Amino acid sequence: MLEPVLPDITPAGESPQAAPALEPFRASEPLTLGVELELQLVNTHDYDLAPYSDEMLRLMARFDLPGSVVPEMTSSMIEISTGVCHSTAHVLGELTQLRDALVRCADKLNIAVVGGGTHPFQQWHQQRIYDKPRFRELSELYGYLSKQFTIFGQHVHVGCPDADAALLMLHRMSRYIPHFIALSASSPYVQGQDTQFDSARLNSVFAFPMSGRAPFTLSWKEFEAFFSKTTRTGVVKSMKDFYWDIRPKPEYGTIEIRVFDTPLTIERAAALAGLVQSLAAWFLHEQPFVPAEDDYMVYTYNRFQACRFGLEAVYVDPVTGRHMPLRDHILETLRRLAPHAQRLGAAPSIQLLAEDAELGTNDARWLRQRQARERLLAEVVRQGSERFKGRR
Amino acid sequence: MNEIMAVWGQWLKPSAGLPTVQWSLLLALAAAAGHLVQRHMALPKVVGYSAVGAIAGVAGFTGAAWPLQGIGLFLLELAVSVVLFETGGRIALRWFRYNPMVLLQSVLEAVLTYAAVYFTLRWLEVRPSVADALALVAMASSPAVLSRIVTDLRATGPVTERAIVLSALGALYALTLVAARAGLMHREETDLFALLYPVAVVLGLSVVVGAALALFLRFALHFMSPNSENTSILLITSIAAGTTVASHFGGSAALAGLLAGLLLKQLNPRPWAWPRQLGTAASLLVMLSFVLVSVVAAQAEWNPAVAGIVLALVGARALAKLSGVLLANPGSGTTWRQALMTGWAMSPMSSLALLLVSQFASASFTLGPRIASIALPAILLMEVLGAVIATFVLHLARESSQPEPVSGAGPSGAQRA
């Protein structure tokens, strides 16, 4: 089972002398999954963020639940995580239990729980840092960035056979970062405005040092050397100081994909985990390609396109340089994954995502459609909370 | 003060009448005082408004005579209606289904407040009918003071939310019971129908006006955005019309406002953003009510006997409210500390209590003054002290939006890294 996952940002190292070693890559069962969801707590009056994480944690502690529930950086956020799961159905089962308990606790407190990568109209300066020494320390270091970090993501862990295989998996998976972003995008609104991005959340992540892509190496030994060089500078002291889009998680024996916006429903969250698992299975069983440093020449461009245009983005093939609609590349990939998905029991997930890619219907589009109809972002949040409950 | 007024009267003959000039200047002073006490003394603005009103009242300001009537009474009713409408609109009735302990907290704190105040006053040899009336008035907290403080502090959280809901429910009980009690004062009939008829009229009319208002606003919100300034104007003018109609036909304007808010919330689940949009107009109205309350309340006769009774009433009320909220706290989702703070946050008494006393004053020329002689000082005391307590409690609960503590120039990147 996954341990409670700590927040993703930690203060930088205290002194250049302290150079902690990278912990060994633990064994994990290949293709196992772990999903973390950062969720919004809103009041039921004007549907702005509400600082209820303490109350929610206290009430959630009374339930016998899989995985864990932990606080996040600001007190209007809460994070749920599954334990180690073997299939999409397993993930969905655990998320359903966690979601139902969350909804019951929220009803008791007269608040609501909502997905989505950003709260559409919250004001960052009104957020309160969760009262925990480490969060206070982070707030001191990062200033307003820590409050602007009131953004909500889904992280998917996938088990890897060994350390070298994890790095290989990580760099292969990097080619599919635009796919993940476009399919999960649910943060078009920030501070009450349409940003014109499908995923504006990732722009906030970019403000942090050590964000972006992991260094290119396929050998754990070389990665350890990179880590020790970096820690010697005192800029980082643990893996948690890297806010990369995908990072190895040696203590779990996994790689962790962190570019997903939190979807509006747990069904989509489970489907995205199914996509990751199917991709990983394809990589492990077919060894379809060997990643190269040059893959990253178009990485930032592709990532930007996916954030900005979602499923309407252009995808540049890192090998051929060919430009094509991202949507077509997603569909092509999903077709290729179908046999693996079938074997893993993730076929319904792949089918759901394929339909979305075909129709161009991600959560960002749903949010924009609701706003076009309602012309009131608070009402969009309310409907989002109903959707999270699974009632709409 | 009266001489100054007389001089003014001879020298100045404004078209809108002298009271308009006096009230305008008084409100201007109150606004400045509110700003200054908040900026320099870290006290709630309400304290500044009340201080100016109280000084004017003690100095013999003639702009508001007791018992309230005419335009003064209407403005007070309108301010209370607007606040109660907004507060009622925060209450989702389905919450009580998921968390019945909140309803129990509300009932317990109201019942215990009535009992504690009644028996304390009886122990101090206050006559039963006066003690009964004062106990009913004491049940009400002040949603107006609380919502003003919440807006000023941009407070949000479990203590804030629960204090607002409990004060709205308390207002519902107090308005209903006072309307009934005031209607029954001095009645000798033993016929149950004759006894209940006036109560039914007050309640029935309030419900009808409240429902009509809710349906009208629901219809308007169907095609108007709650963000629009025009919607805000429509809301406040509709409430003003409802207030006038309810009062004219013998209903309770405040109760109609509260019921309209409650019903609208249930009929129209779309979130409201209107208090923010209503902004200055509602703020002015509510500020006026605070000044009016203190002007009137400061006219009460103070003497050691009254002071003793007032302090006993305030003490018994606070203790009972705390006990009620604490007793039903287990299983209600808040900690003991939060329940304690919720109880304290419900300390203020203000415009709503004055309105209730005003109902007794117009119902009985003999008992009215006796009730007012104790109620008015208590209201003035708790308008100020209650506001300070509520502000302190919301800070303590860490539910106010305060800037993060900054020590000096803050850490440098080099120091931190």
Q: For chain B, give every domain's residue range.
A: 22-59+72-397
pTM > 0.95: yes or no: no
| C-alpha to C-alpha distances, A386 to A51, A189, A330, A379, B74, nearest whole angstrom | 20, 19, 29, 11, 41
- Structure tokens that stand for B146 in this block: 């609380």
Q: Tell me which residue of B199, B171, B201, B175 sits closest to B185, measured CA to CA.
A: B199
The per-residue pLDDT for range A171-216, each reduced to its tens digit, is 999 999 999 999 999 999 998 999 999 999 998 887 777 888 999 9
| C-alpha to C-alpha distances, A286 to A279, B23, B95, nearest whole angstrom | 10, 84, 54
The per-residue pLDDT for range B247-291, each reduced to its tens digit, is 777 778 889 999 999 999 999 888 876 655 566 677 888 888 888
Q: The domain B22-59+72-397 is classified under which CATH number: 1.20.1530.20, 2.40.420.20, 1.10.10.10, 3.40.50.2300?
A: 1.20.1530.20
Q: Where are the beta strands (DSSP E) in B202-347?
A: none
- Structure tokens that stand for A370 in this block: 């609701």
Please report the pLDDT score of residue A36 as a whole number: 97
Q: Return d(Cα A216, Cα A236) in angstroms, integer.
A: 18
Look at residue A346 and give its three-state secondary structure: coil
Q: Return d(Cα A43, Cα B96) in angstroms, integer.
A: 16
Tell me how crowded residue A109 is: count the other CB atoms within 10 A of its CB: 27
Residues of A in contact with B410 (CB under 8 A): 140, 143
The per-residue pLDDT for range B133-171, each reduced to its tens digit, is 999 999 999 898 998 899 888 899 999 999 999 999 999
Please answer whether residues A276 and A156 qualify as being in contact, where contact means their C-beta atoms are separated by less than 8 angstroms.
Answer: yes
This model of the complex carries an ipTM of 0.86
Query: Residue A76 phi/psi, 5° resolution?
Result: -105, 15
Please answer whether residues A103 and A113 qualify as being in contact, where contact means their C-beta atoms are separated by less than 8 angstroms.
Answer: yes
Confidence of residue A11 (pLDDT cuts 50, 70, 90): very low
The reply to whether B157 touches chain A by the CB within 8 Å rule is yes
* Cβ <8 Å between B157 and A51: yes
Half-sphere exposure of B295 (CA within 13 A, CB side): 25
The reply to whether B70 touches chain A by the CB within 8 Å rule is no
- Helix-strand-coil split of chain A, %, nearest 5: 50, 15, 35
Is residue A391 pLDDT above 70, yes or no?
no
Please answer whether residues A163 and A25 qualify as being in contact, where contact means their C-beta atoms are separated by less than 8 angstroms.
Answer: yes
* Cβ <8 Å between B333 and A108: yes
Provide, rounded to the nearest whole percent, the portion of chain A with pLDDT above 70: 91
The reply to whether B14 touches chain A by the CB within 8 Å rule is no
Tell me how crowded residue B291 is: count the other CB atoms within 10 A of its CB: 29
By the 10 Å C-beta count (0-12 exposed, 13-18 middle, 19+ buried), A391 is classed as exposed
The reply to whether B147 touches chain A by the CB within 8 Å rule is no
Q: Return d(Cα B62, Cα B18) in angstroms, integer.
A: 11
* Cβ <8 Å between A47 and B271: yes
B382/chain A closest Cα distance in angstroms: 28
Look at residue A392 and give its three-state secondary structure: coil
Backbone dihedral region for residue A253 (phi beyond 0: left; psi -120 to 50: alpha; all else: beta): left
Angle, CA of B158, B159 and B160, to the nearest 5°: 95
